[in-house]
Amino acid sequence: GGVITLDPGYKNTGSCESAITFLDGENGVLRYRGYSIEELAEKADFLEVAYLLIFGELPTKEQLDKFDKDIKSHSVVDDDIKKILDAFPKSAHPMGVLSSLTSALTAFYPTSVDVTSEEQMYNSIVRILAKFPVLVAWTLRKKHGLPLDYGDNKLSYVENILKMMFKSPSSDYEQNPILVNALDKLLILHADHEQNCSTSTVRIAGSSHAGLFVSLASGISALWGPLHGGANQAVLEMLEAIKADGGDTKKYMAKAKDKNDPFRLMGFGHRVYKNFDPRAKIIKAAADEVLNDLGIDDPILDIAKGLAKEALEDPYFIDRKLYPNVDFYSGIIYRAMGIPVEMFTVMFALGRLPGWIAQWREMRLRNEPIGRPRQLYIGETLREFKTIEKR
């Protein structure tokens, strides 16, 4: 081997070549397959973006119809999965449940592991795109004690997500176009973000030729943490805490700056964006719009805006180039939609699913080698073994 360069957190290590997402952190630019995130959020729907990310081009009408139909043909989940879901305590965090159920799917659809042809790969991809929202909806419904059901083939992908999550057994579910629109936008904004922690996890797990579903389950676990996708839950909990504390934003600013306090301002800072997070800009505007359209006056939004204003003017945050990130305002929209805080990171996973799939597929099609970083050993040199009596 050659010289090993140490780079904790892989801050300056490229792990692959990729043609999926372009990110310029200095200038706040994000593009999927060459299309700007602003334009996609405005003009495309989530399923089109999923197709674009995975297959590289915006679909024609026929391609999109086929994709949608293929996904719908796989929307049934084996009934035995319900038994597994039943075995979880009601208090289980949905991210752990989903990671487990996604892994468990492999046992019920073992052919999904065999992806030696592009056709087999396609089948696994449409399968998981179909079943994952069902698992998400079931996880939420179980918490609410609602019967588990399936989607409606006449609805769009995003409409189905909302209906599967919220339909009450006693009445028809009426789609609210404001919510459909907002969710569509949120999912698009979360759909890919090049080699972030969860995506790198999916690629590295998949690089051993473990199947797609278990590779995704690894990604879900990585996303769960509060420094990554879990930040959206953490943001809302933080805003709630500030509210309960009489709206004292200054106190939390001081805590965030105090190097003896582990507290960080959740929803602030990003490994790559050092100017602004273009997704946060779009989401901030969307949060205003959704709350306005729904006629909701949420004091949490005012606290968020106040906090952001203070941070953006504070030398600590300016010097470290810390700006509101994608998760800072997303929870406010999810809350307005009636999604419980514990499900926020699950919504991130729903959005990130096509990105993970696209990155996994690219990795397999490029025949990338197994991911295997090196280390600099800093432990003991050779020692003599001592029997237990002598230790």
- Which residue type does 25 have? G
**Least Å from the CB of residue 132 to ligand CMC:** 19
Is residue 271 within the footprint of ligand CMC (CB under 6 A)?
yes
270 is catalytic: yes
Using CB under 6 A, which of the segments 154-162, 242-250, 297-305, 325-333 binds ligand CMC?
325-333
Q: Using CB under 6 A, which residues numbered 115 to 144 contact ligand CMC?
A: none
**Cβ contact 38:278 at 8 Å:** yes
Q: Which is nearer to ligand CMC, 229 or 278 (CB)?
A: 229
Q: How many residues does the chain have?
A: 391
327 is catalytic: yes
Which of 94, 74, 88, 89 is CA-nearest to residue 150? Answer: 74
44 or 266, CB closer to ligand CMC?
266
Do 158 and 171 contact (CB within 8 A), yes or no?
A: no
Please report whether residue 281 would count as binding ligand CMC according to CB under 6 A. Answer: no
Which one, 268 or 334, has the nearer CB to ligand CMC? 268
Judge whether 283 and 333 are in contact, CB under 8 Å.
yes
Residue 231 or 332 having the CB closest to ligand CMC? 231
Pick one of 133, 269, 278, 331: the residue that binds ligand CMC (CB under 6 A).
269
- Find the binder of ligand CMC among 267, 278, 354, 355 (CB under 6 A): 267
Segment 189 to 248, residues that bind ligand CMC, using CB under 6 A: 193, 196, 227-229, 231
* CA dihedral of residues 380, 381, 387, 391 (deg, nearest 10): -40
Shortest Å, Cβ 267 to ligand CMC = 5
Which of 243, 264, 274, 281 is the binder for ligand CMC (CB under 6 A)? 264
322 binds ligand CMC (CB under 6 A): yes
Residue with the closest Cβ to ligand CMC?
269
Q: For ligand CMC, which stretch binds (CB under 6 A), given 112-120, 124-132, 169-177, 323-331?
A: 323-331
What is the Cα–Cα distance from 111 to 192, expressed in whole angstroms? Answer: 26
Of 211 and 324, CB closest to ligand CMC:
324
Nearer residue to ligand CMC within complex by CB, 54 or 256: 256
Does 49 sit near ligand CMC (CB under 6 A)? no
The alpha carbons of the chain give a radius of gyration, in whole angstroms, of: 22
- Interface with ligand CMC, residue 374, by CB under 6 A: no
How far are the Cα atoms of 84, 86, 212, 275 from residue 195, in angstroms, in the given order? 32, 35, 17, 19
Among 74, 190, 228, 270, the one annotated catalytic: 270
* Residues that bind ligand CMC in the complex, under the rule CB under 6 A: 9, 193, 196, 227-229, 231, 256, 264-271, 320, 322, 325-327
Which residues are annotated as catalytic? 270, 327
